[in-house]
Structure 1
Amino acid sequence: MRAVLQRVSHASVSVGGQVIGRTGPGLMILVCAMRGDTGEQADKLAAKVAKLRIFADEAGRMNRSLLDTGGSALVISQFTLAADTARGNRPGFSTAAAPEDGERLYEHFARCLSGQGVAVETGKFGADMQVDLCNDGPVTIWMEV
């Protein structure tokens, strides 16, 4: 699985003009299941995200995790993280999981992250979504497990 984490002061996701998910201080996470991914990878990614030390401590150093800060997460599916741009000018997405697998693993990841003790809201799998966020730092991290 692949994910892009953005440390945010706030973020929201809308479908059809209606906000369906939001977070305050914490993370906005774009997640993509790749062909061949399993629930085990979603579990590992969720555990790593919850414990990743990218929030400032009292000295201003990135030394605290989402769990340490009590922050929340907005999890949004984004199959375009599977883009292959090696050839030509149009990205290919053949390495992304099939839609039914992608949805299952996306939802599994969100449940696992919640199970780690993080308050989680989500977007809507497969929908045309609009994301609004204020990147804090900015801190943006790409992960793959």
Structure 2
Amino acid sequence: MTTRQHSSFAIVFILGLLAMLMPLSIDMYLPALPVISAQFGVPAGSTQMTLSTYILGFALGQLIYGPMADSFGRKPVVLGGTLVFAAAAVACALANTIDQLIVMRFFHGLAAAAASVVINALMRDIYPKEEFSRMMSFVMLVT
């Protein structure tokens, strides 16, 4: 492998790991919804609201992080988003009420959007138009 192939593999692998944040934080969460309802003593609808607010945060985050990545650069946005994502995950684990969990899941989704937006922008910055689709498919394959 050439140095360019090594760096392309590393970039695709790292961006693939970042792309996993959003689906992973939903897929690992869904089986726990009945347990969360029982733990907080609330109906299933209240617990399902945590998923809705996560998706809402993710949608709004994409509108926020795109212009931020263009203004401040890709690296600070993705690092900040990843740090907030981790902090929100800890806050979700420490939530004492369902309302706290709903709010923290919103911020969790908001932070997850940073990786999604920056990955696409970074791939367009790094790879020429002809190679972009192929490399992006590798990132999605890692996910």
Please confirm whether the aligned pair reaches a TM-score higher than 0.5, indicating the same fold. Answer: no
- Give the number of the structure whose alpha-carbon radius of gyration is greater: 2
Higher helix fraction (1 or 2): 2
TM-score by length of 1: 0.28
Higher strand fraction (1 or 2): 1
